[in-house]
Structure 1
Amino acid sequence: MKMSSPATQKPHAVCMPCPGLGHLNPMLKFAKLLHSSHGFHITFVLTELVYNSIFLNSSSIPSSLHGLSDFQFVSIQDGLSIPDNDHQAPDVSSIILSIQHKLLDPLRILLSKLNQLSSKVPPVTCIISDACMSFTLDVAAEIGVPDVFFCASGACAYMTNLHLDQLIHRGLVPLKSGSDLRNGYLDTKIDWIPGMKNLRLRDISTCIRTTDISDIKLNFCMSEARRAREASAIIINTFDDLEQSIVDSMRALKLPPIYTIGPLTPLNDQRLNLSQWQEDEHCVDWLNGRVSNSVMYVNYGSGVALSKDQLVEFAWGIANSGHEFLWVIRPDLVHGYGYQSASALPQEFMYEIKERGRLISWCEQEKVLKHPSIGVFLTHCGWNSTMESISNGVPMLCWPCCADQQMNCRYVCHEWGIGMEIESDVKREEVERLIREVMEGEKGKDMKKKALELKELAERAAKPGGSSFENFNGVVMEVLLQR
């Protein structure tokens, strides 16, 4: 995407994503847009643990960023560590405590150093921070620059986070007891959030599934949502036509200016993803030998973990469907198997699928979803995967696990009509039935038609004159450059 910017002193954006690939990669795409279209100097900040897990070798850096003196990755200490013999990442509570208590001073020191390097880098002119890294507001205020929040989730999930206080005020949260997770209480209707309809309590972020009013995840989500009102602007990786009523209702709240700038991939003309796993470079060659819309792509994202029983149920459901598939089994996907998750699959399954299935440890997902052989995407329904599927017109089978995934699933299946949900207690018979329905049935044809319609709207939003294209220029000129 080519845009113009007045010739002035080079602006310098410091980007502070939340730890985790699901937050890091969309912000990386946005940062590259700032760099390539408006000439921003970029300092991309990673926490030490994330930096070390990704940059073990230089091949982790996308080729389009190689050798750029004005696009640099730096790390700051986060107070987290993993023993050498432990394959488990820190739990969510540990990461939250790190965000709340460990990152402010290291970021403050980094910005001070950057502003002292006037002969090498331009002074910092703005901060782009993940919407759940609000501590950056304090540093931005100290040095007098705008701080724009980058929301890596959809407007649907973010809007409900903005109303978590109301859930408590109305006595719906916290849960009265653990039995509320199973007795139908989560089906309680939520009909009072502006711009949203047909919601149930179970569709809200899983941070509400606690009986403790002091729960660290619940309070973190609430506190970060409250501070959104202090940001200079909020940008969301969505497009107006996809979430029009929610975005309009959000803009009516007492919030900073809101800019929808998604989907980010069509706005970029280069591959931009970081990962700590080696990508299979030959899976696309395998797909080239398959007919159109004949292959199911399976990927649970970068953070979801399965039990062995869940993996086995998925495996036999996939095998029994009779359809060809490409299945990403991340090295650390299965609890208790370290980096050998694929070994949890039964040998009988491996024999059954050897002629029609391919197992890989990781891949370039956007390239796979773009391939004409892909007929459906079995996904955890993370927002990045959802947007990438929409951008390529691929219907979804959704198995949401945590965070915003339940809300994304609700909209995919019931508002947009481009997906079907697999029950959390996954059973092979249900998996087989749903695969057959989406690949062979009339509902699958209808889902594909609707997915292609949304793809067209996404492409229109990203083109010159489209809402996301214009919103991107708007946030740059009106907020980041303040012109």
Structure 2
Amino acid sequence: MEPKQHHVVCFPAPAQGHINPMTNLAKLLHSKGFLITFVHTEFNFDQQAISRGQDSPFIHGINGFYFETIPDGLPKDNKRGAKEHPDLCRAMASGEEPKNALRSLLRKLLASSDKPPITSVILDAQLNFAFEVVKEFDIRVFPFHTASACAVLGYLHYNELVNKGLFPLSGKNVNNGILDTPVDWIPGLFKGAKLKHLPSFIRSDEDEMMFINYNIVSAENAVDSRTLILNTFDDLEYNALQQIKSKIPNLVTIGPLPLLCDQQPQIQQFRSNLFTEDSNCLNWLDQRSPKSVIYVNYGSLATLTYDQLTEFAWGLANSNQYFLWIIREDLVNGETRVLSKEFMDEIKERGMIARWCRQETVVKHPSIAVFLTHCGWNSTLESVGEGIPVICWPFFADQSTNCAYAFEEWGIGMEIGDEDGDVKRTRVEIVVREMMEGEIGEKIRVRALELKNMARIATRFGGSSCNSFEELVKWLTLGVSCD
């Protein structure tokens, strides 16, 4: 008799920064013999078909790795871009359509004669509606939080911030400097941490309290599960992880996931971008000298005003450095114009502009010296894994937390924005030059290489992340946590 194959359902939140790490985890589990059902929203699955092509494994699946879809609750004509992302969050949080569709999908999978029964579900920790549904089926849930441990620690204390009367932190409260209030009562954060260093949903106004409450419920779900998967490694976020363990005893730290995937030669190589990649990026980088290029990318959701884009553009131009700049189609909010002809003429010998790229490959490229980033966790951890210093300009969510740690705790970056989070071309030029040519930049580069070595050790055989992944495999095989 053949051994029973274990069937794991993986369901990420419908955003690029959540899909990528869940895809890497699903591919790792598939390489260990698990049958995987990967759940997309219908819209994102269609985007995958456009960006990857109809012949992509992401469309048809491969042996033992299948794709299913559910609606996200938004009308078909909604663009679901950065501007509409709050609408998507609300629809997924409170709409009945996604909930009923997931319920029907689980029934179908459980009744299937072609696939083994579902033994476990790995859910994005922020899909609260999905937790409700899966509980109805008595299937073991493993939450996967795609943020940093230090940000998760902040989310775990959101309820206490509410009890202290600190919400909402907008308008008059912010102007009175309340964001500079120390949070030394939250153990595990870096010394000197303030309210402004916690995930930015605390700055929501009364109309956006949904996001605060949503994260409070998400944290409660993780605590109730007594298990949490994190894309990090022990030596990077040790203090935060120890405090999380006091609330969630079974922590699975398996990062950086791209490095862990590199350790598995049998892993499937298909990718998960929602945007069409520009292969000319790599051709252009191949023509540059080692450690000579600044890579600039603000992620899949951040938006800029036209004035911010202009200041950033001329700061880069005036730095006189080579740069690869990713400018999404919807990066500039409400503007059809993007970069002036004068700017393009100025940087034609030094700059490459593209709409999207395969970031994991770009960050690994030998010509990349610095990553100018929004400090999303995937970008931050990919930089750590490759020893690339960062210039930080955070926008929202956990990005302010990651930026603070990169600068204050890990010593691998510099912050570029002013006190209001805005940016000026002079500051851009100064920071870029310092990171590329200055003494501070040299110290940061040395520290970044130290963290790279730590990340490599963690993901090799016998390392903390490798061992933690093997423990997860054991738990998934049993379908229970290791209490």
Q: TM-score range by the shorter chain?
A: over 0.9
- 1:403 aligns with 397
Tell me the CA shift for residue 69 of structure 1.
3.3
- 2:12 aligns with 17
- 2:325 aligns with 327
- Return the alpha-carbon distance in structure 2 between the equivalents of residues 461 and 454 of structure 1: 10
Higher mean C-alpha displacement, 459-468 vs 71-80: 71-80
Change (3 A) 1:83 1:104: closer
Give 1:309's aligned amino acid: D
Tell me the CA shift for residue 71 of structure 1.
0.9
- 1:182 aligns with 175
Change (3 A) 1:36 1:393: same
Mapped pair 1:416 → 2:420? no
Query: Of the candidates 218, 221, 233, which is equivalent to residue 224 of structure 1?
Result: 218
- Return the alpha-carbon distance in structure 2 between the equivalents of residues 58 and 355 of structure 1: 31
- Return the alpha-carbon distance in structure 2 between the equivalents of residues 455 and 60 of structure 1: 37
- 1:3 aligns with none
TM-score (norm. length: structure 1) = 0.92
- Return the alpha-carbon distance in structure 1 between the equivalents of residues 330 and 374 of structure 2: 16
Change (3 A) 1:376 1:67: same
Q: Deviations over 1:132-171 (max 9, x none)?
A: 1133333333332210000100100001100001112222
- 1:131 aligns with 125
Tell me the CA shift for residue 66 of structure 1.
6.4
Q: Deviations over 1:410-452 (max 9, x none)?
A: 0011100001111121100000000001001011011111111
- 1:45 aligns with 39
- Return the alpha-carbon distance in structure 2 between the equivalents of residues 257 and 13 of structure 1: 19
Mapped pair 1:238 → 2:232? yes
- 1:433 aligns with 430
Query: Of the candidates 235, 240, 243, which is equivalent to residue 249 of structure 1?
Result: 243
Higher mean C-alpha displacement, 343-352 vs 449-458: 343-352
Query: Of the candidates 309, 312, 332, which is equivalent to residue 311 of structure 1?
Result: 309
Instruction: Give the 5 Å matches for 1:143-154.
Output: 143-154=137-148
Query: Of the candidates 110, 127, 130, which is equivalent to residue 105 of structure 2?
Result: 110
Tell me the CA shift for residue 56 of structure 1.
3.0
- Return the alpha-carbon distance in structure 1 between the equivalents of residues 112 and 283 of structure 2: 47
Give the fraction of aligned pairs with identical amino acids, expressed as a percent.
44
Higher mean C-alpha displacement, 220-229 vs 26-35: 220-229
TM-score (norm. length: structure 2) = 0.92
Tell me the CA shift for residue 114 of structure 1.
0.9
- Return the alpha-carbon distance in structure 1 between the equivalents of residues 378 and 396 of structure 2: 14
- Return the alpha-carbon distance in structure 1 between the equivalents of residues 80 and 475 of structure 2: 47
- 2:265 aligns with none
Tell me the CA shift for residue 11 of structure 1.
0.6
Give 2:294's aligned amino acid: M
Instruction: Give the 5 Å matches for 1:134-173.
Output: 134-173=128-167
Query: Of the candidates 267, 284, 292, which is equivalent to residue 294 of structure 1?
Result: 292
Tell me the CA shift for residue 371 of structure 1.
1.2
Q: Deviations over 1:258-306 (max 9, x none)?
A: 1101110011135453223221112222212211211110001111111
Contact between 2:51 and 2:276, CA under 8 Å: does it hold in 1? no
Query: Of the candidates 231, 237, 261, which is equivalent to residue 268 of structure 1?
Result: 261
Change (3 A) 1:67 1:274: closer
- Return the alpha-carbon distance in structure 2 between the equivalents of residues 61 and 296 of structure 1: 34
Q: Please report the RMSD computed on the Cα atoms of aligned residues, expressed in angstroms.
A: 2.2
Paired residue secondary structure (1:332): coil
Change (3 A) 1:61 1:228: farther
Aligned length: 470
Give 2:245's aligned amino acid: R
Change (3 A) 1:61 1:264: farther
Give 1:429's aligned amino acid: T
Higher mean C-alpha displacement, 265-274 vs 413-422: 265-274
Tell me the CA shift for residue 395 of structure 1.
0.3
- Return the alpha-carbon distance in structure 2 between the equivalents of residues 121 and 109 of structure 1: 16
- Return the alpha-carbon distance in structure 2 between the equivalents of residues 418 and 93 of structure 1: 35
- Return the alpha-carbon distance in structure 1 between the equivalents of residues 78 and 100 of structure 2: 27
Contact between 1:233 and 1:479, CA under 8 Å: does it hold in 2? no
Give 1:336's aligned amino acid: G
Q: Deviations over 1:27-56 (max 9, x none)?
A: 01000101012x111111112222223223
Change (3 A) 1:400 1:284: same
Contact between 2:73 and 2:91, CA under 8 Å: does it hold in 1? no
Contact between 1:60 and 1:276, CA under 8 Å: does it hold in 2? no
- Return the alpha-carbon distance in structure 1 between the equivalents of residues 110 and 58 of structure 2: 26
Change (3 A) 1:66 1:80: closer
Paired residue secondary structure (1:385): helix
- Return the alpha-carbon distance in structure 2 between the equivalents of residues 44 and 268 of structure 1: 18
Instruction: Give the 5 Å matches for 1:359-374.
Output: 359-374=353-368
Paired residue secondary structure (2:50): coil
Higher mean C-alpha displacement, 471-480 vs 232-241: 471-480
Q: Deviations over 1:79-129 (max 9, x none)?
A: 1125278966533144234233332221111011111112x1111111000
Paired residue secondary structure (1:446): helix
- Return the alpha-carbon distance in structure 2 between the equivalents of residues 87 and 156 of structure 1: 28
- Return the alpha-carbon distance in structure 2 between the equivalents of residues 122 and 144 of structure 1: 16
- 2:199 aligns with 205
